[in-house]
Structures are given as structure tokens and as C-alpha cells.
Structure 1
Amino acid sequence: MVDLVVKSLIKMAAQTFCWLLLVILVSILTGSQARRGQDIRCGACRALVDEIEWEISQVDPKKTIQKGSFRINPDGSQSMMEIPYVRSETHLIELLERVCERMKDYGEKTDPTTHRKIYVRVLSRDGKTMDASATNLEKEMLSDLKFTCEHIVEEYEDELLEFFSHETDNVKDKLCSKRTDLCDHAVHIAHDEL
């Protein structure tokens, strides 16, 4: 009888241990997936800002676009004016429509200090390969980065237009961390150079 009780207790302890181990593994996997999701949202936002800032820097600041109404006023004139093209809504919307295609030029690395995933260019803007050592270039990761970028553009289009319609310092921090909380862990990430 004692042997039966001991065997039963050992079986219950083994089952409890297995359930406890399963719960721990699920919580670890869920936590790492949440962290990866946060890292990719932050990385996509920061890459998006880099790409838009670079595109803006490539436009001739003297280039203008007409803005106003095409209606004719009672005096026969039109209410049209010339504004700088570089930060016009028209130009910014064009950029937002194509900027996420640039995510294919990025790779995923692990930051040695924070152990977080970061996203870095592996192709220069002129198409030359850059140092891609210790960089994840898997199609699935690139697809996730592009999808996340597209989601950010869709969800935060108004904020992106607001920030880029005039020059602003530290757009990455202001937009990605403070305004959207996409990088709530990353307020102190070093700024990349164009």
C-alpha cells in the first residue's frame, strides 16, 4: 500500500513538474516573441525615418510646386502659390508610397550592448554591398520588416507628414519613441548618419 502511495506521489510530482516546465517555456517564448515584435517595429520606424530623411536630402531645395485652388476667383485670377517641393505633402506622400521597398536593403543584427535586434543597411544607396557580417538576411525577416514598415506608414501617415513637412531635429526619437511608442525602450539609441 505504501509503495502504491509513493508511486502515485512520484507520478503527480512528475506531471506537476512537466506542466510547470511547459508554462515556463511558453512564457519565455511569448516574451521573446513580444520583444522581437517590439524590436522590429522600432527598427522599421528608425529605418523608415532614415530613408525619408535621405530622400528629402536628395531633392533640390529650389524646386517648387504649385499649391492652391484651381478655381477662378470672381476677378478672373486663380489662388495659386509656389511652395518648396521638398517638404510638400505631394512629395511626402510619394515617398511614403515607395519607402518601404527600401527595407530589402537592410539586415538584422543583435546589438552587443543591449542584446536587442537592430536593423542596418547592408546595401549602400548606390547598390554596393556593405559589411554584412553577423547579419541576418533571411527572406522572412526582410518580409517582416517591409510589412511592419508598411503598417507604420498606414497607421501613422498623419504623424509622418506632420514631422517631415518641416525640418525637425531628432525625428527618430520624437516620432519613433515619444509620439508613437514604437521604440519605447530606445530613447537613447545612437543616431545613424545619413
Structure 2
Amino acid sequence: MDEVEHDVTKARQTKTKVGSSQTHPDGTRERTKVPWALSEAFLADLLDQVCQRMNDYKLEVDPVTKEKTFKRFAPRKGDKMYQEFKKFSFYSEAYRPLKFACESIIEEYEDKILSLIAREARYLADKLCSEKPGLCKTSPDRTEF
């Protein structure tokens, strides 16, 4: 959800609006414009591709609690280090469960995710977890899928 929220936030910063038109049975046309971040094309593309970026995360084990978590290690496109970093190719079998979990969540909760984005919700992971009981486990300082 962090990846989805990041992309939506960046898209909201652009003032680009896209439109569509609809012709009614009486022959009149109605044009609508929506921000790019809420457009069907942007959101469909985002949800189709977001899970491909799970290899930008690495599996870390807390030395004290032995709890395993995935943390982003790769810079995002547009970050200062991105140009240098993209020269390298990383692949780890460790990210496969994260990619599978991402794909499963997107498939099962796509409508809910789109609804949260349409309401311009912030903290998408927390909102999704609170609205879909049983999806996430919580600890005092964070929510996890």
C-alpha cells in the first residue's frame, strides 16, 4: 500500500486532468474531467504494475525480536540516487512471498483500494486494515498485512 500511496500522491501533485465524454440518448454530450490520479487509466495501470516493485524491498530480521519485515531499500524514480542505482540489477527469492501477497491483496481488495483512493484517503494501509478486519495484524507501533 505504501507503493500505491506514493504513486497516487505524486500523481495528485500534477494538475493534469483527463476527460471523457458521453453521448446521451437525446443526442446531448456530457464531458467530464477528473484529476489524473483518479482516472481509470492511471489507477488500472498502477494496480497492474505495483507488485512488480516488490523486489525493491529486502527482508530484514530484527536482531532482538527476530521479527521479519520487508523494508524498501531501493530509491524511487526521481530520487537523487535513482539514476546511479538503476544501473544495478537485484533479484532475491526472498521477495517472492511479498510479491504474491501484494498480488493477492490487490486482486481481492481492488474495489476497496480504489474507493479509498477516490475518497482521497491518506494512510491507505491503515484505512484498508481498519475497514477489512482480519486482513492485517497489528502491533503497538505499526500495522502489517
Distance 2:18 2:70 in 1: 34
Higher RCO (C-alpha under 8 Å, 6+ residues apart):
1
Structure 2 unmatched ranges of 5 or more = none
Query: How many aligned residue pairs are there?
Result: 133
| 8 Å contact from structure 1 (residues 92, 164) kept in 2 | no
**Normalising to structure 1: TM-score of the pair?**
0.59
CA distance 1:83–1:67, shift in 2 (3 Å): same
Name 2:9's counterpart in structure 1: 57
Name 2:116's counterpart in structure 1: 163
- Please state whether the residue corresponding to 1:118 is helix, strand or coil: strand
Higher helix residue share = 1
Name 2:135's counterpart in structure 1: 182
| 8 Å contact from structure 2 (residues 56, 72) kept in 1 | yes
Q: 2:98 aligns with which of 125, 131, 145?
A: 145
Distance 1:61 1:167 in 2: 15
Q: Describe how 1:42-191 pairs up with structure 2 within 5 A.
A: 49-59=1-11, 60-69=13-22, 71-74=23-26, 76-112=27-63, 114-126=65-77, 127=82, 139-186=92-139, 188-189=141-142
Identity of aligned residues (%): 33
1:155 positional shift: 0.9
Structure 1 unmatched ranges of 5 or more = 1-48, 130-136
**Normalising to structure 2: TM-score of the pair?**
0.76
Distance 1:67 1:114 in 2: 53
CA distance 1:177–1:115, shift in 2 (3 Å): farther
- Please state whether the residue corresponding to 1:156 is helix, strand or coil: helix
1:28-85 CA distance string (max 9 Å, x none): xxxxxxxxxxxxxxxxxxxxx111111112224311121452x3442x3212211112
Q: CA RMSD in A?
A: 2.6
1:173 positional shift: 1.5
| 8 Å contact from structure 2 (residues 5, 124) kept in 1 | no
1:99 positional shift: 0.3
Greater CA radius of gyration, 1 or 2?
1
CA distance 1:63–1:138, shift in 2 (3 Å): closer
| 8 Å contact from structure 1 (residues 177, 184) kept in 2 | no
1:165 positional shift: 1.5
CA distance 1:180–1:101, shift in 2 (3 Å): farther
